A and B are shown apart, each in its own frame.
Chain A
């Protein structure tokens, strides 16, 4: 049993950290996991993506062409990964800043106004948590609680006052259930 997740968006959207949270939570739940970023000379502001694999046996390739899940936080990422999601897979779309809806009929999509929700909660940097919540509500490879625990343990101490807001962001996101496109 193996789940591959690609998270993609702009640098600064917390893409890499969201992926790491998944990996931490998977590890803490006794699962095998890999997290691999695409890394580039552009440190900030460029595109960023990472691949997380969660499995119950030794993981082979840390990279996949056709992930089961793509969490896309900007338009270029939707354009790039929508065609690549495995048939029957899941697409989580940040509808706040993506101005089109997915086209494929053989996958499910959850449209989540992640930036709007995050801003309502008081910090747009929590959009990634909204997206994670939506992903896990639709494909519960891990529980929301597992992510909360990972957040508590791995969010830098100086941001700990934001923990309750992050939990709320996860749960707000979890309300967005996917539909056949």
Chain B
């Protein structure tokens, strides 16, 4: 079972440049077609299950807008059991 992760995009920083969308190995990030940030951008967001918390989106993000979380090892064991 793959590791579960999630991202939180700080909309104060995100400019919708799509570098994270392009870089995501799981292809689970897209620009939110509905939401618009205070600066007028469609922010990046997780659009489907499958985030592994690999952090690649954060590595390419020019705005340091993404916080990446990953399921802790202990939690995984619990879930697997």
Chains A and B share a contact (CB less than 8 Å): no
